[in-house]
Amino acid sequence: MLHPIRKDEQHADNVRQMFNRIAQRYDLMNRLMTAGQDIRWRKAVIRLAQIPTGGKILDIGAGTGDLSREAAHQQPHCLPIAADFTLGMMQVGRKQTPAQITWCAADAAHLPFPESSFDAVVSGFLLRNVSDVQLTLQEQYRVLKQGGRIVCLDTTRPKPTVWSPAVYFHLNTVIPFLGKLITGDKEAYAYLPQSTQHFLFAEQLAEIMRQVNFRNVSFKRYMFGTIAIHWGVK
């Protein structure tokens, strides 16, 4: 007997299909949408991860592997594992990747690693896409070694400021227009602003990280309050 598809499975399937469709142009769109600022944020993520020499780092929701490459660049002796559940994104990423990086198919909700495996776990723009943020963070906590660091880069729900009209114009008009122009997929780049505006506020994500038992949790906002980097320690 066929069992009905659960809501979270359906969501994961939609996310996977969307990233498979835009994989070829994903990196270019990132540079354009953020005016190249994402490169600076990724450098900050890896600095905050404080990877020890020879340390193992998990880049979960790695996509095309930008964070793993930055880790390999900043810490040439580290061992990054770039893990994702969208094959198309990983295929694009693997073409431009040093041998030091290992690629792995994995669902962030059920990581295929034993507990206490990694010195650091990082993610870039993953959490906004998962069905259960708390479960995803619990998995990252489980696979981190004691004293290991988590660093998450994502969009965050913007608070009202004097910049809000310009911010919403960029999110709701400029990004979908650019997305259609560059990737031919207006839907995917309408999803980005929608998921940003329905995602957690930075304070709420920090609170969930504390509930999962991370300590020294902190965050910093970027780009008119639409992006945040959160970090903490197991």
Residues in the site for ligand SAM, rule: CB under 6 A?
12, 15-16, 19, 30, 61-63, 66-67, 84-86, 89, 106-109, 124-126, 129-130
Q: Least distance (Å) from ligand SAM to the CB of residue 106?
A: 6
Alpha helices by DSSP H, 50-185: 66-74, 87-94, 133-143, 164-169, 175-183
Q: 75 vs 123, which CB is nearer to ligand SAM?
A: 123
Q: 164 vs 187, which CB is nearer to ligand SAM?
A: 187
How does 121-160 read in b/e, with b if 16+ C-beta sit within 10 Å? Answer: bbbbbbbbbbbebeebbebbbbbbbeebbbbbbbbbbbee
Q: Least distance (Å) from ligand SAM to the CB of residue 202?
A: 18
Q: Residue 153 pairs with which residues in a beta bridge?
A: 124, 229
Q: 63 vs 176, which CB is nearer to ligand SAM?
A: 63
Lookup result for tokens 């259960």:
132
Q: 192 vs 217, which CB is nearer to ligand SAM?
A: 192
CB within 8 Å of 177: residues ≥ 6 apart: none
Q: 125 vs 189, which CB is nearer to ligand SAM?
A: 125
Measured CA to CA, the distance from residue 64 to residue 143 in angstroms comes to: 22
Comparing CA positions, the residue from 89, 107, 130 lying closest to residue 7 is: 130
Q: Least distance (Å) from ligand SAM to the CB of residue 30?
A: 6
Q: Least distance (Å) from ligand SAM to the CB of residue 44?
A: 13
Q: Least distance (Å) from ligand SAM to the CB of residue 11?
A: 9
